[in-house]
Amino acid sequence: MDVILFLIFAIIAVVGAINVVVQSHPISSAISLVGVMGSLAVLYLLLGAEFLAAAQVIVYAGAIMVLFVFVIMLLNAGAEVRKGQSSIALFLGGPLLVALLILLAWFVQQLFPGVMVYFGGFRGGSAQDVGRALFTTYLLPFEVTSILILIAILGAIVLARKEMD
């Protein structure tokens, strides 16, 4: 059951990621990226990270990507015109990429022999555990990121406002 779920959502993630890179219209890339984030949220659930899975959908897929879709709609971004692509690079680089990835997969498989991920293997990812760690061990990064968000809000407002002259 774990294997089937992992394979389905990993394939959706990879196909979505390829779509992000290959599609010419930005809105199709954005929708594919939402699909990638959704399938990654399911993979986080399989890894026992239930709070992170919900946070992924709420923050990443539900807010950041909506922002991307907004900007694409506002700027009326059209399909991109592709020129100057050399096919020699594709013939050389594509197989080399696949070969390197296979080498990496084999190498990683040798590094972690026998460790299996099954649903329920890690139970320490609940909201209580994340909250406890967030407000004790990671209190300083938490406060600093809230200031970071404040700076980002100020920056976005200053950059995007109309000049009131």
Q: What residues from 77 to 136 belong to the interface with other proteins (CB under 8 A)?
A: 77, 80, 82, 97, 101, 104-105, 108-109, 111-112, 114-119, 121-122, 124-127, 129-130, 133-134
Least Cβ distance, residue 164 to other proteins (angstroms)? 15
How far apart are alpha carbons 46 and 52 in whole angstroms? 11
Which residues, 6+ apart, have CB-to-CB distance to 27 below 8 Å? 69, 72, 73, 77
**Three-state DSSP class for residue 164:** coil
Total binding residues for other proteins by CB under 8 A?
91
How far apart are alpha carbons 151 and 145 in whole angstroms? 10
Residues numbered 25 to 44 that lie near other proteins (CB under 8 A) are 26-27, 29-31, 33-34, 36-37, 40, 43-44
Q: Give the DSSP letter of residue 125.
A: -
Task: Copy the structure tokens of residue 100.
Answer: 């390197």
Least Cβ distance, residue 54 to other proteins (angstroms)? 4
Asked if 8 interacts with other proteins (CB under 8 A), we say: no
Asked if 12 interacts with other proteins (CB under 8 A), we say: no
Asked if 164 interacts with other proteins (CB under 8 A), we say: no
Least Cβ distance, residue 165 to other proteins (angstroms)? 15
Asked if 48 interacts with other proteins (CB under 8 A), we say: yes
Q: Is the separation of the CB atoms in 116 and 41 below 8 Å?
A: no
Least Cβ distance, residue 87 to other proteins (angstroms)? 13
Residues numbered 54 to 73 that lie near other proteins (CB under 8 A) are 54-64, 66-73
Crossing angle of helices 127-135 and 139-160, in 10° steps, is 90
**Distances 122 to 57, 62, 75, 78, 129 between C-alpha atoms, Å:** 21, 26, 44, 45, 12
Least Cβ distance, residue 79 to other proteins (angstroms)? 9
- Residue (91 or 122) nearer to other proteins, CB: 122
